[in-house]
Chains A and B, each alone.
Chain A
């Protein structure tokens, strides 16, 4: 299968290790990965902040980058960005009166999958250990991000994949369905409420005794990780793609390149 990778802007710029891991998993399964160079961002930040007019060129750019027939499906390591591509793109195009863009956006959306959705529903992965060679001997807890859970109805796909990683000690997170408080510009416009939500999420994560919190959205993980770091916690965050890509020959660098360079790699 020829799979087009939508890295998402935050992963592309801040967490390249997550995109590399996505590529590694898919290539390991024998698929060809392409990276449409015109891609940038899904535009969700603009839409969710009410800047629809400013969102249109961002959406149009994404549609143009991904509307080629030269691939079978598109994938992104983010529930939130995929939900935006599938739901918001056609909606914003329509509300701005661009029917043609609405149609094209809907077609791109129909071909776009979140990573766990692609792995489980399309590629038939039920056991990450045996089918992907995933190996990750660490105590991990997992936060299911809101948009994957409620907009894409991913259910326990990500968690099931993590559960079948060899060597992993996956500890259930109390109150997993509670939002971490990120919400894009919400974290700045309503910083106090957002911080109060984050505080509770961080406390629940800490209570698990895990050394890592995994999840499927780099933005939420940056938020959670940023809060833990501010509290002086040693708990890191790591995208589930990096855990799936981790093998005995090539173990994942915990918390990716960012912490790696500060000399805080594996423990």
Chain B
């Protein structure tokens, strides 16, 4: 069949790169749950950050108003994104920067590799960045013969161990200090064989290693937390100061940033600088905030590039119910409070974005049909802790439910044989949409009692319900339903409205 070219790119363009799970969440979770060390580390780390966050958040009397403001600003950004992007491009270019537009991960990777190649360098230092992880930049550069060196301590640990980050803020949350020492001894050139697992000693070893790199690097690659449209300014918020080194010392600076990171004005930054540190590290203020506006002659990088990355963000924006997932400022509060993340860790989510936000953002960016990402929206008990913690009030539970609906609908009519879940839901819909039908079915309750046997509990069920009985019993059903009792035995209140009419026949409550 021939295709007619209509002169328009197909919309939406879904994201590529490290956004896909390679196995379903329940399967990955099953494996990760078996890792006792991981669970202990994660439990400890998430609980500590949780308590710190609650403490500093409770100090601000206007925390809820700040969240409302953050949410409102982000909503207005999404509504005027094209206009703000153009405004930003104009200002960034006027100050000596160069803008590149990347539709997906491949395009972004090629652009960055090309820019590094132009400098003649084969090594680049990196500021911790989610966007470059999302597109798999390090791996791509390696294929191109370019070494990208992570300079954030935790990222460095993960990189040296040839592992993947498991938390967006604390990438090595799944490793403890003796594991870190072993990694340093094994992978860090020139590491002192007498190195202990004392955190200060470990940090000092990393510092010596990194200093050498900072002083010689000619190219740095970064992400950005915010971009201010009215001035063309970029911002990076960090804790260690290693980012500041990368942003100021090398001659060339290449930044990769998702298009949703824009803020309209400098003034808007005030809201987010209060929301972000408190929500992420539980600090009142983060140690290092770097802001840069174009090239300043004789000071800092003289070549400045920004790759504006779509990679599925437009697709997420096109989903009316899901688009607020793009409000995310990557603080990680939602994963720190999430009871599912706490037990499975980040790797179970497959994508660069783990936890509750990952469970909505990844399928929104890749499309729900992508590989195993359709299992992500189900990776939640819908307890709502993430929504309460989110500094920009993303209603993650509602979006999870919405995406479950999209998933179910996307499969309708495509399956030859309905799944057990499909059949069960259809039957339940019939039974539960009429009091009469439910009442008739409840007449069968005594049968369930028979099935439960003498100890009055059901301990094994077949099919999908076996998931329930793997760790829980079901009580035997009562001899009659409430409905039957009401019809047969409850006479209603006495004429004088006296107390306890329902007990006038000796019924127990």
Contact = CB atoms under 8 A, between A and B. Distances in A.
B470 A195 contact: yes
B503 A52 contact: no
A226 B378 contact: no
Contacts of A38: 434-436
Interface string B116-153: 00000000000000000000000000000000000000
B49 interface: no
Contacts of B467: 187-189, 191, 194
A15 interface: yes
Nearest to A264: B456
B437 interface: yes
A122 B383 CA distance: 27
Contact of B456 (A177, A181, A185, A262): A262
Nearest to A91: B398
Interface residue SS majority, chain A: helix
Contacts of B62: none
Given A57-B433, A186-B381, A258 B426 contact: no
Interface string A176-190: 011101111111111
Interface string B465-486: 1111011111111111111011
Given A27-B499, A179-B339, A198-B472, A32 B493 contact: yes
Interface stretch (A106-114, A144-152, A159-167): A144-152
Given A147-B384, A189-B26, A229-B473, A37 B435 contact: yes
Contacts of A20: 482, 485, 502, 507-509
Contacts, number: 258
Contacts of A52: 405, 408-409
Contacts of A149: 384
A229 B401 contact: no
Given A48-B404, A197-B343, A223 B384 contact: no
B33 interface: yes
A229 B428 CA distance: 27
A54 B478 CA distance: 28
B130 to A, nearest CB: 24
B433 A146 contact: no
A259 interface: yes
Contact of A183 (B381, B480, B501, B509): B381
A222 B381 contact: no
B497 interface: yes
Contact of A47 (B401, B445, B493, B500): B401
B380 interface: yes
B48 to A, nearest CB: 14
Nearest to A246: B509
Contact of B472 (A45, A61, A227): A227
A50 B457 contact: no
Given A24-B500, A27-B502, A16 B428 contact: no
B384 A150 contact: yes
B442 interface: yes
A97 interface: no
Interface string B413-436: 000000001000110111111111
B492 interface: yes
B473 A65 contact: no
B387 interface: yes
A95 B33 CA distance: 36
Contacts of B485: 16, 20
B490 interface: yes
A9 B432 contact: yes
Interface in B1-40: 25-26, 29-30, 33
Contacts of A242: 509
Interface string A198-228: 1100000000000000000000001101110
A193 interface: yes
Contact of B429 (A27, A46, A185, A191): A46
Given A61-B434, A95-B405, A250-B509, A12 B472 contact: no
Given A179-B383, A192-B26, A16 B480 contact: yes
B111 interface: no
A13 interface: yes
B60 interface: no
A166 B473 CA distance: 32
A250 B456 CA distance: 24
A192 B27 CA distance: 9
A12 to B, nearest CB: 5
Given A37-B435, A48-B382, A49-B425, A197 B509 contact: no
B388 interface: yes
Nearest to B471: A195
A181 B379 CA distance: 11
B340 interface: yes
B450 interface: no
Interface in A57-79: 57-58, 60-61, 65
B387 A150 contact: yes
A177 B337 CA distance: 10
A123 interface: no
A38 B433 CA distance: 9
B366 interface: no
A173 interface: no
Interface string A241-267: 010011000101100111101100000
B203 interface: no
Contact of B503 (A24, A47, A147, A256): A24
A258 B476 contact: yes
A40 B500 contact: no
Nearest to B490: A23
A20 B367 CA distance: 48
Nearest to B377: A50
**Chain A CB within 10 Å, residue with most, of B339, B430, B438, B493:** B339
A193 to B, nearest CB: 5
A124 interface: no
Contacts of A177: 385
Contact of A194 (B321, B381, B408, B442): B381
Interface string B364-408: 000000000000011111111101100000000010011111111
Given A9-B438, A27-B502, A181-B381, 16 more contacts: A13-B481, A17-B508, A24-B509, A33-B493, A40-B431, A41-B432, A51-B425, A51-B429, A187-B381, A188-B466, A197-B343, A230-B471, A252-B508, A252-B509, A257-B479, A261-B479
25 contacts: A13-B438, A13-B481, A16-B482, A27-B493, A32-B493, A32-B497, A36-B435, A38-B434, A47-B401, A48-B382, A61-B434, A146-B385, A177-B385, A183-B381, A183-B383, A186-B378, A188-B464, A193-B33, A198-B472, A230-B459, A252-B509, A256-B478, A258-B456, A258-B476, A259-B456
